[in-house]
Amino acid sequence: MAQAWSIADRVARDFGLEIFDVQLRRESIGWVLRIFIDKAAQSNMTTETNSSEAVTVENCQRVSTDVSAVLDAEFSFEHAYTLEVSSPGLDRPLRHVGDCRRFLGRLAKFVVAEAVDGQMHLSGRIVGVEETSTESNNETLHHIVVENGRSVQRIPWSIVTRANLEVEL
């Protein structure tokens, strides 16, 4: 899997893209190698970011063509497989604090391991990311600040078990 990721990453960088995820799974049609590409992260992305910042069908096609050629030459996998290249989607997972910074102003859903204001499932617009340092163990704690129209909630990133953007039409 690391070999496929490395190959895909080399190709994606040539197009100003980055690899979001690589999955190799056996499915009813056989083995499927899925490569999820994304625009390279920029710290200044906000709700004002225009659609040119989204992965296009052309991006997927170009990466697929180039990755396929390199995989044929360099990837050692003992089974035939189908290659799929796509974006993480409109409801993409937020896997790091940096993702929350990147998508400030966007609607998101969070599932937490410990209740926040009595809730295990929270949703709202990401309005900030706060950092606080602890003196006892030199650790930086992150809180995602979410506004849902009725209130503002501070969600400790350390208790987030799943987070996704919500589709806005």
Q: Domains (ranges, CATH) in the chain?
A: 2-86 (3.30.300.70), 97-165 (2.30.30)
**Looking at the chain, how many residues does it have?**
169
Q: How many whole angstroms separate alpha carbon 55 and alpha carbon 85?
A: 11
Q: How far apart are the first and last CA of the chain?
A: 36
Tell me the per-residue pLDDT of 89-123, one tens digit each, with 9 for 90 and over: 999 999 999 999 999 999 999 999 999 999 999 99
pTM, full prediction = 0.79
pLDDT score recorded for residue 42: 60
Q: Which residues of the chain have pLDDT under 50?
A: 43-51
Q: Which pLDDT value is given to residue 75? A: 84
